[in-house]
Amino acid sequence: MSPGSSRRWALAGLLTPATLLLAGCFLVPLGIMATYSVLSPGLYGGVEWEFYPYNYGRVLGAPLGDVEEFDPVYAGILLRSLRLAAVTVVVCLCLCYPAAFWVSRLPGARKNLVLFLVTLPFFANLIIRVYAWMLVLRPTGVLTRAFDAVGLGAHAPDLMFTEGAVVIGLAYVLLPFMFLPLYASIEKLDPALLQASSDLGASPLQGFLRVTLPLTAPGILGGSVLVFIPAFGNFVVPAMMGGAKVMLVGNTIEQQFLAARNWPFGAALAMLVLGIILIAMLAYAWRFGRVDGAVRP
Amino acid sequence: MNGPPASRWLGAWGVGFLALLYVPIALIFAYSFNSNVVNMMAWEGFTLDWYRSILGLPTQLAKSDNYVQSTATLLAAVRNSVVVATFATLVSTAIGTATALAIARHRFRLRRLYQGLLVLPMVMPDIVLGIALLIFFVSLGLDLGLHTIIAGHCVFLSSYVFVVVSTRLAGMATDLEEASSDLGASPWVTFRRVTLPQIAPGIAGGALLAFIISMDDLVITYFIAGVDSATLPLFIYGILRRGIKPEINALAMLLLTFSFLVAATGLWLRSRRQ
């Protein structure tokens, strides 16, 4: 056997398991889901094998058949999910940007320790991290008790089962996804550039807007995408902290599968989520490529 | 641009940021020792009973009418989680490592496609993968159970192992491998004696990460678990949806301690010799 052909066999051997796994348990399931999304829901759950694009019509307004109607509730849920995901991104960004700056300026050993501490909660069970905030925000929770303790019991905010609670939960769970990319780009920042801008007469604000912000843009965008995607499709946090009052698209999909048993409609919603996320990722790739290209001399 | 006041302000923000991360967890820790059976938010006294009840030790709790023993279901959930995480980690570590080697050490036409495909299960929302797998298993006529959970976990865990091992391979010089093959070693011997020892910390780190993520996964498992195959996160989610019970605090602390220990080992492995 020639060395070339033995290398080819090695490559085939290395790739076969992943190919089987990805084809069998990823691409085929996604394909079946896409197919389901254009089938007609059966009377008692399940599907009828007829082409039925009207599942999308219920959300988007078109196409509409004889039976399905445009229901603004679903479009509203989709918009609310997008809005809360965007708010979560902004909250994470505002919290993490100064913190990442702080960490990047710590001396070596302390920096490693703090980085370790910031990364650690990422490994903690998601449901436990959400639960921690339920302890704080629930009507008899820590927040109410703190207000009581200082004699302001009547003014304690009732945040549980509001959009605010959902954003707090999402932001807490997703903070590391924003922090790490931000930190990576802030760490690379050359202080000499800021010094130069200040020597040339730029105010600190100008220095920040014209030097720091553009140079850390890849981190901001990267972190935003990493936070936006799981926030948008999340269903655990809204189920636990939003209750029935703050339905997001993730809860709606879950409901279609486990309660309403309209699988084609649930699949169509999931396809819409996937489509929106692919658009976000493509926009990111386009933007990131440009920013990256512009920064490098 | 930053004088001392600005750095003091930054420092305060940083400390506040760390507090924000850890105070909620510290609250669970504190409440896990509260002996109040009826209202867990009101502090009554110190007890280890919640921990003792999880570990199956005798407690004072049985005397209270409000306490319902659920240790058996809990232990079954722990067992399910460990079985799933062990099998899924073994399979996905092998697949993720093999694929990382193929991508890093071979040039072939579909390389970019494989790279993209491998990252996709990781970045797409859990719920989409969860329901895609649910529809898939149901249309195959499979009964949902531990085997479907393991198969589902392998899909996204392989991606994580792939990324971790790829990072390790990317930071590794190829000259030793070339020397070994120039001296007449077969690809297998080169892999076994040169490549593997160098990427071993990466593989171990990837496997630990996979294990934690598998133990932690709620959403995908939620859709593809059968009636008797509830994992630990599903068990906890079920309890929380029915109303908060005090033993959750102790259970959460045990689980957090476990995750943090595994994570600390993983981070330590990754930082070693890099």
- Look at residue B63 in the predicted model and tell me its pLDDT: 60
Q: Which of B2, B27, B233 sits opposite A136 (nearest CB)?
A: B27
B118 and B239 share one domain:
yes
- For the record, the structure tokens of A47 come out as 């599907």
| CATH class of the domain comprising A73-295 | mainly alpha
Residue contact A229–B99, C-beta within 8 A: no
Chain A CB contacts of B216 under 8 Å are 123, 125-126
Give the Cα separation of A253 and A231 in Å (integer): 15
Q: Domain spans of chain A? A: 73-295
Q: Which of A124, A250, A254 sits opposite B259 (nearest CB)?
A: A124
Q: Which of A1, A8, A15 would you mutate first to test chain B, the one with the most B CBs within 10 A? A: A15
- Look at residue A290 in the predicted model and tell me its pLDDT: 47
Residue B218 resides in a domain:
yes
CB A143 within 8 A of CB A159: yes
Residue range B61-94, pLDDT digits in tens? 666 655 556 677 888 899 999 999 999 999 999 9
Residue contact A133–B24, C-beta within 8 A: yes
Give the Cα separation of A200 and A64 in Å (integer): 62
Select from A180, A267, A182, A177 the least CA-distant residue to A226.
A177
Q: Which of B15, B92, B105, B124 would you mutate first to test chain A, the one with the most A CBs within 10 A? A: B124
Residue B63 resides in a domain:
no
Chain A nearest-CA distance from B41, in A, is 7
B233 and B124 share one domain:
yes
Among chain B residues, CA nearest to A229: B125
Residue B64 resides in a domain:
no
- Look at residue B58 in the predicted model and tell me its pLDDT: 73
Select from B242, B234, B198, B243 the least CA-distant residue to B216.
B234
Say whether the ipTM exceeds 0.95.
Answer: no
Tell me the backbone φ, ψ of residue B194, rounded to 5 degrees: -115, -55
Give the Cα separation of B180 and A281 in Å (integer): 42
Residue B62 resides in a domain:
no
Residue B204 resides in a domain:
yes
Kindly report the length of chain A.
297
Residue range A89-103, pLDDT digits in tens? 999 999 999 999 999
Of the ranges A151-165, A248-262, A270-284, B1-15, which one carries the lowest mean pLDDT score?
Answer: B1-15
Give the Cα separation of A167 and A158 in Å (integer): 14
Q: Taking a contact as any Cβ pair under 8 Å apart, which residues of chain B between 14 and 43 contact chain A? A: 14, 17-18, 20-22, 24-25, 27-28, 31, 39, 41
Confirm whether pTM is higher than 0.90. Answer: no
B134 and B257 share one domain:
yes
Q: Among residues B57, B80, B99, which one ends one of the domains? A: B57
Q: Reduced to 3 states, what is the DSSP secondary structure of residue B57? A: coil
CB A21 within 8 A of CB B158: yes
Degrees to nearest 5, angle at CA A66 with A62 and A70: 40
- Look at residue B83 in the predicted model and tell me its pLDDT: 96
CB pairs A-B closer than 8 Å: 225
Give the Cα separation of B26 and A234 in Å (integer): 25
Containing structural domain, residue B113: 71-271
Categorize the per-residue pLDDT at A288 as very low, low, confident or very high, splitting at 50, 70 and 90: low
Mean pLDDT calculated for residue range A7-34: 91
Categorize the per-residue pLDDT at A289 as very low, low, confident or very high, splitting at 50, 70 and 90: low
Q: Which of B21, B28, B118 sits opposite A135 (nearest CB)?
A: B28
Higher pLDDT, B7 or A228: A228
Chain B CB contacts of A6 under 8 Å are 187
B79 and B200 share one domain:
yes
What is the CATH classification number for the domain harbouring B80? 1.10.3720.10
Q: Which of B125, B158, B267 sits opposite A230 (nearest CB)?
A: B125
Looking up tokens 């989709």 gives: A78
Chain A nearest-CA distance from B194, in A, is 16
B256 and B182 share one domain:
yes
Residue B114 resides in a domain:
yes
B133 and B247 share one domain:
yes
Bridge partner list, A126: none
Tell me, yes or no, if B117 comes closer than 8 A to chain A by beta carbon. Answer: yes
Name A31's Cβ contacts closer than 8 Å, sequence gap at least 6: none
B146 and B32 share one domain:
no
- For the record, the structure tokens of A97 come out as 């940007």
Give the Cα separation of B123 and B223 in Å (integer): 18
B215 and B88 share one domain:
yes
Number of domains, chain B: 2
Average pLDDT, chain A: 86
Residue range A101-149, pLDDT digits in tens? 999 989 888 898 899 889 888 888 899 999 999 988 887 788 888 888 8
Residue range A59-69, pLDDT digits in tens? 888 777 777 77
B213 and B175 share one domain:
yes
Q: How many Cα atoms sit within 13 Å of A142 on the Cβ side?
A: 14
